[in-house]
A and B are shown apart, each in its own frame.
Chain A
Amino acid sequence: MATDQIARIRTYRYTMILMALAVVATIAAVRVITGADRISSPGTLRAAIIAACPILLAGIGGLWAERAGIVNIGLEGQMLLGTWGAAFFAYHHGPYVGLLGAAGMGLLGGLLHAVATVSFGVDHIISGVAINIISLGAIGFLAKSFFEDLEGGGPRNLSGYETLPNITVPGVSDAALSVAERNIFVVSDVAGAVAALTTRVSLLTVLVVVLVVGTAWLLWRTAFGLRLRSCGENPQAAETLGVDVYRYKYVAVMVSGAFAGLGGAYLTMVASSSFTVGQTGGRGYIGLAAMIFGNWRPSGVVAGSLMFGYTDGISLLPNNGPLVRSLLLLIAIFLLAYAVVKYRSTERVTAGVIAAIAVLLLVWFATTDAVPSAFTGMTPYVITLFVLAVAGARLRMPAADGKPYRRGGAG
């Protein structure tokens, strides 16, 4: 049985690798066919990574909370607190303290959420919504109180603080860049990704990777993680086994807030170098969406954030009409492939619907040269919706997620 399991995991891994290869090849093919070189250029991918990271941080934050059974829609607010924390502490004490400050502010937001939901049993959504309102007011107030008289500051903004250093891996970066420029089928696409990952990468981006991997390890490979997850699956059971559920929930929600706060720091220290009230622009919500999209798994959250970051990055590129047009082709191809899979598993109707959509996209692709800018701006949202609609039915959230829990109710 155990070997069986391992064998299955192994085939699963192979399938995943094969699929990944197929995806890369398709992208390369679309690039060559449509001539939209920027589809996998290092610049585009780099923009995608930068756009993805704050969302990823929020998403992983959401993951922490929800794995412990607390829905944290206050991510947006905690992220806002993080933007202020990063700016304030970075201004006065340098970028590293700024990071801590952002995490600390987010953590405070998380603490508030934990007090409300865990100790007082308030509905998670209500508490989250309230935290978002409070946070926006609070950072507006804090900015007005603390930034107005600073040099480079104003009542709603601050700049002129030191940010985090960038890292370029010598050699690899240049090599990858030059290969990427040569437009070789598949090779250049991969090189583009390598270049994006080795050129002018912020220290915080590296930290994000560490944090994501660390989260996956901590939550799935350690006793601590097991206990934390058990609080999201069946807190009563955890309680009967001596787990202090309140404590784990508190820790989880506070860490969640801290992650969101770091997401805010990413916005004020990497994605830009200034603070503005309300600059998160809903990225906390998007992070939540990425987490649900990612089926409450770190790898899924990464995928969701990257997809979002990629489309968002593209929507900001100049002259992106043709680029988005080539995405139409790409999606149509994936849809057709998916339709075939569905057809094979006897879901004829679904397959038909998907195929029909794919054909429509192909027609659109064939009849235009460029997608109008109003639509390119919507790309991230439309594509997320689309992907969810096509593949979103298999999601499973932690069993006790969002449910109230009271100590002593076991048995």
Chain B
Amino acid sequence: MNQSSMLALSAFAAAIGFRMGLFNIGVEGQYIVAACAAGFFGGAGLVPGPLNILATLVVAVVAGGLYASIAGILKVTRGVSEVISAIMLNYIALTMAGYLVQRYGVESGLTFTTTPLPPSSQPLGFGVIAGAPDVWALTVVALAVGAGYWFLLSRTRFGFDLRVAGESPTAALASGVSVPRMVLISMALSGAIAGLVWMPAYFGSVQKFGIPENFQAGLGFTGLAVALLGRNRVVGIFFGAVLFAFLAAQSNGLQREGIAKEVVDITQGIVVLAVVVAYEVVRRRQAKAESERVARELATEREAVV
């Protein structure tokens, strides 16, 4: 559940990019940067109490958005493929975050982390099922982002512009959408959502940021797969996130059954591939059926005319 929320957030971040025709492989780096910024800010406790949570979320969103904007700006002004710039930025993010934490963080056992959150701003969680670990309070952020994502894309003008720009940049241009601006905005938006990815865990249990122990890397890449699996649709993404989280959670159980945990990875990959292949086959069928229908209806129409 908790994992699902983070995966879903990461997937929404990636999906915004996909819908715009951008391949934001940089979600990984963006949420590292955001987590680092949030860790420092939240730990410092500049804002009192629960307000600190809100302020920290804002910091994470802004940090992720700004970091993603680097790739956006490079693409728009210099024509640099967002794929490579994001790959580079991922490495840079990891190194930078590690450096910052070591330089300015506090020692914690054998590693350095950011200062832990003050107790006043720890929204722990709520027990849903007795006995199971608490659900982190901020998993609701994923739901909110999911709702926002759906509303933005299917109900707003801006969302329409974004989708059109992704589907057909040429048509978007002719219809008055400024594609470069759209690239910038959607990249920043994607990064902003990416910024939230680790926040449920941060406020839910970890409460400090440090690489690698007090952090969970790799969510960005998995989120990408989840977005693809979910066909960038809200329901699909939630479903994919739950599925992936479930598979990952089986790792311990499988080991006890004597099954290698690598099987989980393989399964995840194969599920993605199988689902998209199936989807593609269905899509082709439908397209064929549709043009068939069009042709048939027109034929009868014509007959009626003649």
- Residues of chain A whose beta carbon lies under 8 Å from any beta carbon of chain B: 116, 120-123, 125-127, 129-138, 140-141, 144-145, 282, 285-286, 288-289, 292-293, 374, 377-378, 380-382, 384-385, 388-390, 392-395
Contact = CB atoms under 8 A, between A and B. Distances in A.
The 5 closest A-B pairs by CB, nearest first: A137-B265, A134-B269, A374-B99, A133-B269, A140-B262
Contacts of A288: 83-84, 87
Contact of B92 (A141, A381, A389): A381
A292 B81 contact: yes
Interface stretch (B72-80, B118-126, B203-211): B72-80
Most central of A120, A136, A395 by chain B CB within 10 Å: A120
Given A130-B272, A134-B265, A384 B88 contact: yes
Contact of B273 (A122, A141, A374, A388): A122
Contacts of B263: 137, 141
Contacts of B267: 137
A116 B277 contact: yes
Contact of A137 (B79, B91, B98, B269): B269
9 contacts: A121-B284, A130-B272, A131-B273, A134-B273, A288-B84, A381-B92, A385-B89, A392-B81, A393-B79
Given A129-B272, A282-B91, A374-B98, 9 more contacts: A134-B269, A140-B260, A140-B262, A144-B262, A288-B83, A288-B84, A381-B88, A388-B80, A392-B80
B64 to A, nearest CB: 18
Contacts, number: 135
Interface residues of B, number: 42
Interface of B: 23, 25, 74, 78-81, 83-85, 87-89, 91-92, 95-96, 98-99, 103, 221, 224-225, 228, 260-270, 272-273, 276-277, 280-281, 284
Contacts of A141: 260, 262-263, 266
Nearest to B100: A374
B276 A122 contact: yes
Contacts of B264: 137
Contacts of A136: 262, 265
Contacts of B261: 140
Given A385-B85, A385-B88, A385-B89, A140 B265 contact: yes
A154 B237 CA distance: 37
Contacts of A138: 262, 265-266
A134 to B, nearest CB: 3
B219 to A, nearest CB: 14
A393 B84 CA distance: 13
Contact of B83 (A116, A292, A389): A292
Nearest to A377: B95
Contact of B228 (A129, A140, A380): A129
Nearest to A404: B280
B265 A121 contact: no
A77 B91 CA distance: 18
A308 to B, nearest CB: 10
B84 A130 contact: no
Given A120-B281, A126-B228, A392 B262 contact: no
Contacts of A394: 79
Contacts of A292: 81, 83-84
Contacts of A129: 221, 224-225, 228, 272
A137 B266 contact: yes
A378 B98 CA distance: 12
Contacts of A374: 95-96, 98-99, 103
Nearest to A136: B265
